[in-house]
Structure 1
Amino acid sequence: MTESLFAPEGGWRVRILDLSGGAEDNIVEEVGGFPDLIHANAFARAYVRDSVERCRVPGASPRDVLSAWFAFGEDAEVLESGENGWRSANELDDFTAHAASEMERDWRALDPRRDQDDEPEE
């Protein structure tokens, strides 16, 4: 695997992983077409941030939120990014300790598939 800041052919890809084990090889999907690594990293971060928040219930401790996320949540990884890719492990403690804002959770605004959906059909 070559580590590079330059996008692989077709753009960067983010793999979504089902932590509950409900998907084959835990892979839910791969989202491709990110033009740069910053965009792919931001998408992965927001996606996981949203997943953590969906596992949060009122009154839950950070440990409870983390346990729920590992049981029912979804993780994300930027493929072929090596040390330059965002890693959920680096921020899980902060994510579980502090609730996210709507903006921090808005992975849909960063989804390159959204741009494709906005194009008018011919």
Structure 2
Amino acid sequence: MSESTADESGWRVRIMDLSGGAEEGIVEEIGGFVDLSHANAFARAYVRDSIERCRVPGAAPREVLQSWLTFGEDAEIQDAGDEAWRSANELDDFTANPATSMERDWRALDPRRLVEDDEDDIEE
């Protein structure tokens, strides 16, 4: 599926619970992304935030990775093939370098929030 062939529901990001607490590891699927770049940016920020929630002061990158693999959440873009962002490609950098608050702000990219904001504008 390429950006030009995304179905009417748009791109979907699947949130995966790495701790095994959710059925089949899936916490939720989020849809409504404007384009693949939007879905990729959301997935990247979501994982970045998850890694930071697993980081403890003074932890070595390997310890941060182990904590994330045990307690964190991963994100994957559905049906995007090679164009999809993948956490595996950036885990070394993410665990070695703490994120800024902007790099972690997946909420600003969440399409569910964008819909709520649009509805708030209409009600005014």
Q: Say which is worse superposed, 4-13 or 25-34, in terms of deviation.
A: 4-13
Helix, strand or coil at the partner of 1:59: coil
Give 1:97 shift. 0.1
The number of equivalent residue pairs is 120
Structure 1: tracts of 5 or more residues without a match: none
Give the Cα separation in 2 of the matches to 1:116 and 1:83. Answer: 28
Question: Aligned residue for 1:5?
Answer: 3
Q: What is the identity percentage for the equivalent residue pairs of Structure 1 and Structure 2?
A: 72
Give 1:5 shift. 2.1
1:52 matches 2:51: yes
Give the Cα separation in 2 of the matches to 1:8 and 1:116. Answer: 19
Helix, strand or coil at the partner of 1:22: coil
Higher helix share: 2
Question: Aligned residue for 1:20?
Answer: 19
Contact 1:49 1:95 in 2 (8 A): yes
Q: Write out per-residue CA displacement over residues 37-71 of structure 1, whole angstroms, 9 at most, x where no aligned residue.
A: 00000000000000000000001000000000000
* TM-score w.r.t. length of structure 1: 0.95
Give the Cα separation in 1 of the matches to 2:51 and 2:33. Answer: 23
Give the Cα separation in 2 of the matches to 1:11 and 1:43. Answer: 14
Question: Aligned residue for 2:62?
Answer: 63
Give 1:4 shift. 1.4
Question: Aligned residue for 1:29?
Answer: 28
* TM-score w.r.t. length of structure 2: 0.93
AA in 2 matched with 1:64: E
Question: What is the alpha-carbon root mean square deviation over aligned residues?
Answer: 1.1
